[in-house]
Chain A
Amino acid sequence: MLYPTYLRQNDPVALARSMLRDLVRGCRLVQSRAASPPVKIWQGQQTIAVTAERPGTEPGDVEIAFKANFPTLFGERRALQVREGARRHRNERGYGKFSRVIRLTSAASDDKGDAPMTSWVLRVVVARPEELKREKIRIKAAWQGLEK
């Protein structure tokens, strides 16, 4: 692998730092997937939607719990049933139990919450509380006031 920082000779520890950075990045990527599904958060005027990628999860294997502003996804991806004497050539997909707590900046209520699954992208919708909804304020131009 080419380390571009090493080509610059003014920093004697550039190579070491660059390698360490790669190592740390590698560890983080390996750890995060099966334990916590990657999510996407969408914010709207009325609601906040959370989507998570969960391929291979049966709809009944996922649960969503709410506690203040922490919706939590629980679930399990079941392992592939392999017959006796079968050989695995490649094993890239993960399986096992997962849970993921999502922290929202505002308290959310789940009374409008629903979780339809669309092609195994899990979707949670939570309502934003009344007092934290964005309001649009019309700005009056200053010259309008001056004319009257």
Chain B
Amino acid sequence: MSTDTTQASYKILTDAPEGTGGVRVYRALTDIVEAHQDISLQFEMPGAGPGDAATTLEDRVMTIRGKVEQIGARDREPVCAEHGDGDFEQAFALADDVDHVRIGAEMRNGVLTASLACPP
């Protein structure tokens, strides 16, 4: 196997309470990269479309939620499942110097990218 491969963690359930719809909530796997004056956060949410993710900011805590439309395979029934299905959630406390006005988020290929600007 090539050495140019990194291993990802597994889907882990959050401590957040279960949704009223009985859907399980997973912690979104995250990459955080800080470069110069901005921080880029990438949240992995397979199954969530561009309109299904929401970012909220409250008391310096940024919360992201991704709603996943469950795949119903019409007449088919599941015979083997290696992963669970559910929504995604993750929260981070932000430092004081993050510019709260300039938080951008973009969903692409099941990955939500949020960028925070920290002015010097």
Chain A nearest CB, measured from B72 CB (Å):
10
A118–B110 alpha-carbon span in the complex (Å): 9
By a CB distance below 8 angstroms, the chain A residues around B82 are 38-40
- Asked whether A93 lies within 8 Å of B80 as measured between CB atoms, the reply is no
Q: A55-B110, A86-B34, A119-B110 are in contact. Are A34 and B6 (CB under 8 A)?
A: yes
Q: A33-B7, A38-B82, A56-B109 are in contact. Are A93 and B46 (CB under 8 A)?
A: no
- Asked whether B46 lies within 8 Å of A95 as measured between CB atoms, the reply is no
Please, how many residues of chain A have a CB less than 8 angstroms from a CB on the other chain? 47
Choose from A39, A47, A82 the contact partner of B80 (Cβ within 8 Å): A39
- Asked whether B46 lies within 8 Å of A55 as measured between CB atoms, the reply is yes
Q: Is the interface of B mostly helix, strand, loop or mixed?
A: loop
- Asked whether B80 lies within 8 Å of A120 as measured between CB atoms, the reply is no
Choose from A35, A46, A120 the contact partner of B109 (Cβ within 8 Å): A120
A116–B7 alpha-carbon span in the complex (Å): 26
By a CB distance below 8 angstroms, the chain A residues around B111 are 55-56, 93, 120
Chain A nearest CB, measured from B27 CB (Å):
9
Residue ID in chain A nearest B68 by CB atoms: A119
Please, how many residues of chain B have a CB less than 8 angstroms from a CB on the other chain? 43
B87, CB-defined interface residue at 8 Å: no
Within B2-39, the residues touching A (CB, 8 Å) are 2, 4-10, 29-36, 39
Residues of A participating in the B interface, judged by any CB pair closer than 8 Å = 29-31, 33-35, 38-49, 51, 53-58, 79-80, 82-83, 85-97, 118-121, 123
Residues of B participating in the A interface, judged by any CB pair closer than 8 Å = 1-2, 4-10, 29-36, 39, 42, 44-49, 52, 68-69, 71, 73-83, 109-111
Task: Identify 20 residue pairs between A and B in the complex whose beta-carbon atoms are under 8 Å apart, listed by A's number.
Answer: A30-B9, A41-B80, A44-B77, A51-B71, A53-B83, A56-B44, A80-B31, A88-B31, A90-B30, A90-B31, A91-B6, A92-B9, A92-B29, A92-B44, A93-B111, A95-B5, A96-B2, A97-B5, A118-B71, A121-B47
